[in-house]
Structure 1
Amino acid sequence: MDDKEELIKCLEEKINMGKKAVERLNNMDKVEGAEKLVRKFMQEIRFLEKVRSTGALKKEHLQSTNLIHLNAILDYLLAAKDPIHVLKPFKHKNSRLEVDIVSKGGSQWIKVIARNARALTLISKGNGEYGQKSVIDQANSYLQCAINHPHMYRPPEIVFHFAYGIEIPLAEKLENKGIVVGGEKMPGMDSFDEDLNGSETDDDSLTDGLFRPETSNIPELNRIDPEINLLNLDVSTLLAYVTNMTNGQAHFVYKEPLLTTQAEWERSRPVKPVLDQLFADKELLVCKTAYENFMNIIDVIGGPNEIIRAEELMKRARIVDDVPRGRIIERLNLGGKIKDRSRVVFATGENLESITVTANEGFVRAARMQGIECMVFIHEPRSLSELKEKNATRL
């Protein structure tokens, strides 16, 4: 009897929760899709009221209700900045993908997940039911769909909010893909095989930083919008393309630990083939600030072959005037990873509606922390190495 009374009490609580949610939604009539969310709440409420009227209440009825997930969507909708859609369908491949919340005027997509954190990890490691999609699968779908539905010529930022938390290894795996993870992060019982750790560097260094980008090697080429034909090349990319290290000379142990580490990466994950594939059928742009900085570095520490490659690369690229205006210049505060040179390079890329190709993930992440998403393709850094070979040990 006690168990039945407890079930009835839980049933009444869920019905009341649903009705209160509908009342809260009455003030959201300016958000497209709010009526659709109301209908979903009402559907669940009617189902529970029907169960109550029949007197055949079972524990499974409470477990199967979708009210918890719907309520989590509503909570996040009420907290979202400038929400414009809820339960918004987007065409994806031969089907459609329904985004829980479209916020920030259209520049952000939010998915709300209300599942046990351990279960999410197990499913992502292949221990779910047959055909069950993991959050990794869902992340891939969101990222691919966002490419085809850009806002202001950029794919929307993707946020996965975990109402009941997420284990840290899985959260890091999602973040490495470019997903912004919301919700409590908790220690996991195990980890994924991938190396998820990295550090940053100062992008003003003549030799790029000793870090592996969060996007890992190598960024997915299929995430680049095929409709964008302009590539804005950052100094870090120009250096990576012409260095001896990426042109068949990575079999060294250098006196400089940074170069030795980058050479190890290059032997296992060559950067230039990825850049060549990216550059194919695209117009290459280099703004004057990037060009002058690059040529200064080449003049100071470039080897003979690196100088030749730099000249050949500049013949392929179109040098354009800096366009130092817009939100990157106006809204990004200098300091830390936000350097003036990088602001000019990234702002020029945005104003020309191009994709900025860079190894400077420190800037991209710092800009994101200030609310600015940049349209970028990130690769691993490679420094000039030819002049360092004379004091290095060949493997």
Structure 2
Amino acid sequence: MSTNEPVGVLKPFNHQNSRLEIDIVCDGGSSWIKVIARNAKALTLISQGRAEYGQKSVIDQANFYFTCAKNHPHMYKPPTIVFHFACGIEKPLANKLKNLGVIIEGKEIDAQGDDSGEITDNEMSLSESETTSRDSITNSNVCNLLNLNTHIQISDIKILNLDVSTLLGYVTNMTNGRVNYKYLETLLTRQAECERCRPLKHILDSLFQDKKLLVCQTAYDNFKSIVNLIGGPNEKNRTDELISRVTIVNDVPQGRVMQLCLGGKIKMRSRLIFASGENNKCITVSANEGFVRAARMQGVECVVFIHEPRSLSELKELNAERIES
């Protein structure tokens, strides 16, 4: 068995106060694979109800996978469900799974006669690994932190939702040719060092190309307030130019993101901004990595493009030391 773009192994997803562990999450997150090593005849008998009390058939498992997938969309679409049968699967059961929408991997074999005596107790029972991890449904709310995906494929989504951090990063002097400074503020100096190595404006311009740009009301109000307070004249001019290119939309305070518990990195402003992106089926562009990780810890995957932060710098140049390029 081979997979494309694997992003997780035994990755847990919260669902209905329980947890479902997916054997392999691949295709960048758009496919969930379950590996099943049981005897093909045993699978058929279990699906017919001839199993121990509480033992789930692959039909039961498929239904639970689909329900869970709907609550954990990737790029606003439920992940594709793939069942890989290492020891094969009988054709009638395979057809039932296909009718549910499951993609079948593994050899499909003709149904054998009803000679259940040939099936051992071990073959009829779940393997230890499947009972303890692969089909684990527990009360744990812990979600493993994987690396944030900052290079997502965006060809299918043509709308971007811009966070305050992105708006500031686009208009600051630092990303518009005024980068050779050592500031009194250590944070700004570090950002300038990063900017000289990895210019942000180029990244954002490439990302914005042929996309519709949305800014929710909360992001717009906060952005304008910050620029009016600490922005320089050139930064204010760039703000006016950028705002002329975007569409201001109302906040949409509903959906999965709005159910995140406030506290730590989960702030009301960020929650509203990311919720607006979710409800408009956008990719949210942001430097707020902390929010994305905190949301993941609460079981919510954000559709996001993460970039490095850049702060307004024009007025800070007055007390900064100019350095050689």
Q: TM-score range by the shorter chain?
A: 0.5 to 0.7
Match of 1:350 in 2: 278
1:266 and 2:170 aligned: no
- 5 Å-filtered alignment, 1:384-395, equals 384-395=312-323
Q: Identify which of 133, 152, 168 aligns with 1:76.
A: 133
Match of 1:383 in 2: 311
Cα deviation, residue 225, structure 1: 2.9
Match of 1:240 in 2: 169
Match of 1:226 in 2: 155
Distance in 2, Cα, partners of 1:34 & 1:262:
46
Cα deviation, residue 230, structure 1: 0.6
Distance in 2, Cα, partners of 1:35 & 1:226:
29
1:252 and 2:282 aligned: no
Cα deviation, residue 28, structure 1: 3.0
1:318 and 2:247 aligned: yes
Q: Cα deviations across residues 172-207 of structure 1 (Å, max 9, x unaligned)?
A: 9xx33x3xxxxxxxxxxxxxxxxxxxxxxxxxxxxx
1:36 and 2:36 aligned: no
Percent identical: 53
Cα deviation, residue 77, structure 1: 1.9
Cα deviation, residue 337, structure 1: 0.6
5+ long unaligned stretches in structure 2: 1-36, 44-50, 63-81, 90-105, 107-126
Q: TM-score, normalised by structure 1?
A: 0.51
Distance in 2, Cα, partners of 1:306 & 1:73:
57
Higher share of residues assigned helix: 1
Root-mean-square deviation over aligned CA pairs: 3.1
Cα deviation, residue 327, structure 1: 1.7
Cα deviation, residue 295, structure 1: 0.2
Distance in 2, Cα, partners of 1:304 & 1:286:
22
Cα deviation, residue 224, structure 1: 2.5
Cα deviation, residue 381, structure 1: 0.2
1:280 and 2:209 aligned: yes
1:291 and 2:320 aligned: no
- 5 Å-filtered alignment, 1:43-62, equals none
Please give the secondary structure, in 2, of the residue aligned with 1:319. Answer: strand
Cα deviation, residue 292, structure 1: 0.5
Distance in 1, Cα, partners of 2:83 & 2:296:
29
Cα deviation, residue 36, structure 1: 2.4
Shift in alpha-carbon separation, 1:34–1:359, aligned structure 2, 3 A: closer
Q: Cα deviations across residues 28-82 of structure 1 (Å, max 9, x unaligned)?
A: 3322477925549xx9xxxxxxxxxxxxxxxxxxxxxxxxxx9646642221579
Distance in 2, Cα, partners of 1:73 & 1:240:
47
Please give the secondary structure, in 2, of the residue aligned with 1:362. Answer: helix
Cα deviation, residue 336, structure 1: 0.7
Contact kept in structure 1, 2:286 and 2:307, CA below 8 Å: yes
Shift in alpha-carbon separation, 1:334–1:260, aligned structure 2, 3 A: same
Q: Cα deviations across residues 215-234 of structure 1 (Å, max 9, x unaligned)?
A: 6xxx32xx223111110000
Distance in 1, Cα, partners of 2:186 & 2:234:
23
Contact kept in structure 1, 2:257 and 2:274, CA below 8 Å: yes
Amino acid of the residue matched to residue 190 of structure 2?
T
Cα deviation, residue 26, structure 1: 5.8
Please give the secondary structure, in 2, of the residue aligned with 1:79. Answer: coil
Shift in alpha-carbon separation, 1:265–1:34, aligned structure 2, 3 A: closer
Distance in 2, Cα, partners of 1:261 & 1:71:
51
Amino acid of the residue matched to residue 231 of structure 2?
G
Cα deviation, residue 326, structure 1: 1.3
Q: Greater relative contact order (Cα 8 A, min sep 6): structure 1 or 2?
A: 2
Amino acid of the residue matched to residue 354 of structure 1?
C
1:304 and 2:233 aligned: yes
Please give the secondary structure, in 2, of the residue aligned with 1:250. Answer: coil
Distance in 2, Cα, partners of 1:384 & 1:277:
21
Shift in alpha-carbon separation, 1:305–1:35, aligned structure 2, 3 A: closer
Contact kept in structure 2, 1:28 and 1:34, CA below 8 Å: no
Distance in 1, Cα, partners of 2:252 & 2:84:
44
Kindly tell me the number of residue pairs found equivalent between the two proteins. Answer: 219
Distance in 1, Cα, partners of 2:270 & 2:188:
23
Amino acid of the residue matched to residue 343 of structure 1?
R
Distance in 1, Cα, partners of 2:83 & 2:162:
43
